[in-house]
Structure 1
Amino acid sequence: MNVGQILSQKGNDIIALERGCTVMEVAKLLGERRIGAIPITDGDKICGIMSERDVVRGIAIRGGGVLADDVSTLMTKAVVTCSKDDTIYELMKMMTERRIRHVPVVDDGKLVGMMSIGDVVKHRMEQAAAENEALKDYIAQG
């Protein structure tokens, strides 16, 4: 299965904020939507990503005043992305090797979705359950 197939099942609603927003706006949206990261966009192109970790790290280093700063002061600008054609295994490898939990999906340079570690785990659990049922059926027909 590939990223595009998973997006079609989960939906490709994108929660994003535009460049120029504040760290507080990011923190507020992360809390309201109960999500771990938000892509920062410039039009329909991704220019950064901001995670809960980034917010916490910024507060720990610079204090609460960082919340009024522009998101560009804390966001990750070198964003690791995937495409709809990437397999779930390629995505898992990328997340594991780079120690990231959220990967924006980009198609022709445009942000088209977001994959989280939760999406990956959910897919793998569903796949394992289906394989388990297939094996039970195979054995039962034996």
Structure 2
Amino acid sequence: MKTVAQLLKLKALHNQHVHTIGPDQMVLEALKVMTEKNVGALPVVADGKVVGVVSERDYARKVVLHGRSSVGTPVSAIMSTPVVTVDSRQNIDTCMGIMTNSHLRHLPVVENGVLLGLLSIGDLVKEAIAEQADLIRQLEQYIRGEWVDTSTDNNCWLGATA
């Protein structure tokens, strides 16, 4: 099972930078950043600390449905708080459990108060599927009497010498 640190390293280079927004910035600016960067949420950072997360869901539920204006509403008025975070040592299963139990779609990764990344539920599901597919492949090879030398990725027959 991969750790959060390993998953962050695997994310595509263009997805490794975490885009943030300040709590005093207007919701319209947050929407522009989310659209421009093709992300569904932004960590809200004040004085270098994550103080909330603002998402498209927050916009729909706390601005549109309440008749507020995205031009005159600060991000702090609609951001989700308190912030649930994980550190880089957590594994994928733990993160999925946290997100499921807390009904979250985005999970900031914070280490010693520093924002390292943002995981989406899509990131975790993609990795879980890849790990399950790898396990299935290994089990199929075992059933066929093969094994994989993971140090060289060579297929070998059981009982054969490498």
TM-score strictly above 0.5: yes
Which of 52, 74, 81 pairs up with 2:78? 74
TM-score (structure 2 length as normaliser)? 0.81
How many residues are matched?
142
Residue 90 in structure 1 maps to residue 94 in structure 2: yes
**Equivalent position SS for 2:144:** helix
TM-score (ref. length: structure 1): 0.92
Q: Deviations over 1:19-59 (max 9, x none)?
A: 32110011112222221110011243211110111101123
Task: Report the Cα distance in structure 1 between the residues aligned to 2:91 and 2:138, rounded to whole angstroms.
Answer: 22
- Residue 16 of structure 1 aligns to which amino acid in structure 2? T
> Runs ≥4 in structure 1, deviation > 3 angstroms?
none
Q: Give the alignment of 1:1-142 within 5 angstroms.
A: 1-10=2-11, 12-141=16-145
Percent pairwise identity: 33
**CA contact 1:36–1:52 (8 Å) conserved in 2:** yes
Deviation at 1:67, TM superposition (A): 3.5
Distance in 2 of aligned mates of 1:67 and 1:134: 54
- More helix, by proportion: 1
Instruction: Answer yes or no: is the 8 Å Cα contact 1:18–1:43 preserved in 2.
Output: no
Gaps of 5+ in 2: 147-162
State how far apart, in whole Å, the 2-side matches of 1:118 and 1:80 are: 17
CA distance in 2, matches of 1:91, 1:75: 21
- By relative contact order (CA 8 Å, sep 6+), the higher-ranking structure is 1
Tell me, yes or no, if the aligned pair for 1:17 and 1:38 is still in contact at 8 Å: yes
SS in 1 for 2:69: helix
CA RMSD between the two structures: 1.5
Gaps of 5+ in 1: none
